[in-house]
Amino acid sequence: MAQSKKVTCLDCGQVNRVPADRLSAGAKCGTCGAKLITGKVAEVDLATLQKAARNDEIPLVVDFWAPWCGPCRMMAPEFSKAAQELSGEARLVKLNTEEHPQAGAKYNIRGIPTMAGFAGGREKARQSGAMPAAQIVNWVKASV
């Protein structure tokens, strides 16, 4: 039997157990039917981020950003390119620190954009500043 991995649905917050070989094959949430691995960046709130960071068995990379931040807006398309390239290896999400200021306090965010990589229920790496897609991909593969 194939090994399974826990993956949190970013739409409804339900934790799903998915066979590892089906992660990239269009696995869907058992509760709401949303795709679990899309290759696209998802916008999350603090509760979803905490649940996914704690439970997911594939790396989760979070971009803490705000709409007024110029470097954040410049990095957004690069973060999306990196999400496509890392599809199946890691999930990339964004958290708007202006809408969720408690997230900045909880994760000790001192400047934006800041990326944090989570694996095994813990924060494994952190990187501040805008980066191009190739550098984001390399950072995720080396650090998370």
Can you tell me the distance from the alpha carbon of 64 to that of 15, in angstroms, rounded to the nearest whole number? 23
Residue ranges per structural domain of the chain: 39-143
Percent of the chain with pLDDT over 90: 86
- Strand ranges (E), the chain: 4-8, 15-19, 42-43, 60-65, 91-96, 114-119, 122-128
Per-residue pLDDT, averaged over 78-89, amounts to: 95
What one-letter code names the amino acid at 62? V
Longest dimension (CA), the chain: 49
Query: Domain 39-143 adopts which CATH fold?
Result: Glutaredoxin (3.40.30)
Contacts for 22 with CB less than 8 Å, ≥ 6 apart: 2
pLDDT of residue 24 exceeding 90, the answer is no
Q: What dihedral do alpha carbons 45, 48, 51, 56 form, nearest 10°? A: -110
In this prediction, residue 7 has a pLDDT band, given cuts at 50, 70 and 90, of very high
> Looking at residues 101-116, what average pLDDT do you find?
95
Q: What single-letter DSSP state applies at residue 95? A: E
Does residue 110 carry a pLDDT above 90?
yes
Residue reference for tokens 């066979």: 19
pLDDT at res. 20 = 83
Query: What's the pLDDT at 64?
Result: 98
- State pTM to two decimals: 0.93
Q: In whole angstroms, give the CA distance from residue 10 to residue 68.
A: 24
What would the mean pLDDT of 25-40 be, rounded to a whole number?
91
Higher-confidence residue of 142 and 3: namely 142
Average pLDDT, the chain: 94
Which residues form the catalytic set?
69, 72
* pLDDT for position 2: 61
Distance of CA 32 to the CA centre of its chain: 19
Tokens representing 13 are 């917050």
Task: Find out whether 87 and 141 touch, Cβ atoms under 8 Å.
Answer: no
